[in-house]
Amino acid sequence: MSLFTIGIEEEFQTIDPVTRELRSHMSKIVEGGQIILQERVKAEMHQAVVEVGTNICYNIQEARAEVTELRRHIIDLAEQNNLLLAAAGTHPFSDWQDQLITPSPHYDSLIDEMRDVARGNLIFGLHVHVGIQNRNEGIQILNAVRYFLPHIYALSTNSPFWCGRNTGFKSYRSKVFDKFPRTGIPEFFASANEYDEYIALLVKTKCIDSGKKIWWDIRLHPYFDTIEFRICDIPMRVDETICLAALMQALVAKIYKLMKQNLNFRSYRKVLINENKWRAARYGIQAKLIDFGKQEEVPYSDLCDELLDFVDDVLDELGSRHEVAYIKEILKNGTGADRQLAVFEQTNDLKSVVDYIVQETKFGI
C-alpha cells in the first residue's frame, strides 16, 4: 500500500538553558541545519520556532527513521548554539510579546494584515501529509475523516500552560489558533471542483493570495497530492508522533478501501464534530466524546477500541500495526499534557516542566 505516502512536519521550541524561556535562535539553527538537511529545516514566523519536515516516506518505518534523524540533528545543532530543543504545543511560561519575528516580506505582510492575532500565535504543531491518488477521492476521504479528528487530537494534547498559567485545557494551542481566520474543522465539500472554486473565490476577492492560507484542521494541500492533517499539538516523543501519523495513514487507507467497495462512512456535520473537538481540547483522553450514531456520550478509551477495530484490516497491508498499537501506551502513560501537569503538581515549578519536556523530546533518540 505504498499509495498512502507519509510526510511529517514538526515545529520545535528553542529554549535558553539558563532561564528555560523561549529564545530567538536568530536563524543559527536554520542556517546550520540547511547545510546538512537542505529544505527539511526552515524558519517560522517567530524566531523561537524551528520547523523540520521529512522527505516523502513510503511506509511508517521510513517515516520513523527520518523523524528520529531530524530530531537528532536539530537537537545537536541547538546544543552547539547553547540552546535546548523542546516539543510541546505551547511554552509553559514565555510570553509571546517578548518574542522576535523572523524578518521576511511574507511574515511582514501577515502581521500587517492580522496584527496581534499573528504576533500572538506562538504555538507548535504537528502536520502530517498522507498521499492520495486524485483530488476527488481526496475530498471524499477528507469529508469522512473529519469525524475522527477529535479522536486523533485528544491523543496529541500537549499544551496545558499559556503565559505561566494552567489554562485548564489539555490543548490550549488550538484556542490560540482559533483567532486566525479559516481555521478549525472544514465544511463538507461535494467535490474537488467545489473546493477549488471556494479557494478561487477567496483569491479573486483578495481574502487570501493562495490556498496555503487555508489553515483548517485538515485540508487538501494546495500544491501536493496529499491530505494534510493539521489539528495536532506537537507531541513530546518520536513514538507519539509516529503513532499519530500511522493512525492518520490508516484512516485514509480504510476510508479509501470502503470507497473502492462502494461503501461509505457516514459524514457528520461540522457543528457536531466541533462539540467533540471542544471536549478533546478541554479534557484530552479523559474526555467523554459523543457517538453521534448512538446519540450518547462514550468514554474516550472505549472510542479508541472502536477506532482500532475500524482500521484493523488495513494495518498489516500498511505494515503499521506496531506503531498504531502505541495508542495503548498513550492511554496508559497519559498524553504530553497529562505528563506536564503531573510534573507541575509534583514540583510547582514551570522551569521543571520545561526541563521535563526537553528530556522527553530526546526520548528514543
Q: If DSSP codes are grouped into helix, strand and coil, which group holds residue 216?
A: strand
pLDDT at residue number 27: 66
Q: What residue type is assigned to position 283 of the chain? A: Y
pLDDT at residue number 216: 97
Domains of the chain: 6-361 (3.30.590.20)
What is the rounded CA–CA span in Å between residue 339 and residue 240?
A: 13
- Over 80: is that where the pLDDT of 77 sits? yes
pLDDT digits (tens, 9 = 90+) for 305-318: 999 999 999 999 99
| Averaged pLDDT for residues 273-284 | 98
Strand 161-162, strand 49-53: pairing: unpaired
pTM for this model (two decimals): 0.96
DSSP for 160-212 reads -EETTEE-S-SB-HHHHHTTSSSEESPPP-S-HHHHHHHHHHHHHTTS-SSGG
What is the rounded CA–CA span in Å between residue 3 and residue 9?
A: 19
pLDDT at residue number 26: 54
Contact 199, 222 (CB under 8 A): yes
* 45 closest CA partner among 162, 124, 158, 160: 124
What is the rounded CA–CA span in Å between residue 203 and residue 207?
A: 6
* Summary mean pLDDT of the chain: 93
* 170 closest CA partner among 32, 281, 46: 281
H/E run at residue 215: strand 215-216
pLDDT at residue number 34: 76
* 106 closest CA partner among 24, 45, 28: 45
| Averaged pLDDT for residues 8-19 | 96
* 221 closest CA partner among 229, 292, 201: 229
Number of residues in the chain: 365
Residue carrying C-alpha cell 502530517 = 128
H/E run at residue 333: helix 327-333
| Averaged pLDDT for residues 300-304 | 95
| Averaged pLDDT for residues 284-295 | 95
* 128 closest CA partner among 268, 34, 9: 9
- Over 90: is that where the pLDDT of 66 sits? yes
1 pLDDT band, cuts 50/70/90, is very low
pLDDT digits (tens, 9 = 90+) for 337-353: 999 999 999 999 999 99
